[in-house]
Amino acid sequence: MSTLAYPSADFPGQPSVALEVPEGWEPVHAPGTTMAARLPREGAFAPNVVVNIEPCGPAFQVEDSLDQLRAMATSRGGAVSEPYAAELGDAQFVGCDATWPDPDVETVLQANLFHVAAAGSGPSAHLVQLTGAVGGAGAEADYELIRRVLTSVRVTPWGATGDRS
């Protein structure tokens, strides 16, 4: 009898993701997120960054995520920018910004980055999505802050640092 295990060469694990956050930022633990951080603010929108990692099949295309983002922003009366390419570390990302009106903070602006990380030598992969959000009166200055956090990302595919099985 043989043993199957996760993670292993047969069932690769998630990539690792690292971000550099400025002093004063705090980790946030929320269901459905892999990792998140925010700059706490009293009575104002807290700039934040969220990382989600989910498995995807070989037919997955980043355009599917862009379409979902576009539909969400449009349903809220907003819009998305044209997609752009970004190389961050050794990873190729596709990015776009989304914005929509919000009754509490006037406008929410999101910077979104998507990367498909191969998982081992098989057909499996993981979608790495990074989202930074700002809102309210400080949104323009805060956008540069979340942008610096997002562009610090380093994604390491599972198994890239040696056999972890």
H, E, C per residue of 30-80: CCCCCEEEECCCCCCCCCEEEEEEEEECCCCCHHHHHHHHHHHHHHCCCEE
First to last CA, the chain: 18
Task: Write out pLDDT tens, residues 129-140.
Answer: 999 999 998 899
pTM of the shown model: 0.90
> The domain containing residue 143 runs over which residues?
16-156
> In the numeric block, which tokens belong to residue 82?
């044209």
> Is there a domain that residue 20 lies in?
yes
The residue-averaged pLDDT of 117-143 equals 88
What is the pLDDT of the chain when averaged over all its residues? 91
3-state class (DSSP) for residue 16:
strand
Mean pLDDT of 23-45: 94
Q: Is the pLDDT of residue 71 over 50?
A: yes
Q: What are phi and psi of 130, to 5 degrees?
A: -115, 135
How many domains does the chain divide into?
1
Q: What is the pLDDT of residue 36?
A: 97
* Both tokens assigned to 45: 């929108």
| Residue-level pLDDT at 69 | 96
Q: What is the pLDDT of residues 74-110, one digit of tens each?
A: 999 999 999 999 999 889 999 999 999 999 899 999 9
Residue 106 pairs in a beta bridge with 102
Does 60 reside within a domain? yes
Q: Quick check: is 4 in a domain?
A: no
- Backbone φ/ψ region at 32: left (φ over 0), alpha (ψ -120 to 50), beta: left
Residue in the block written with tokens 């989202």? 131
Would residue 8 count as lying in a domain? no
Beta strand 84-88 with 26-27 is: unpaired
Domain CATH number, residue 110: 3.40.1000.10
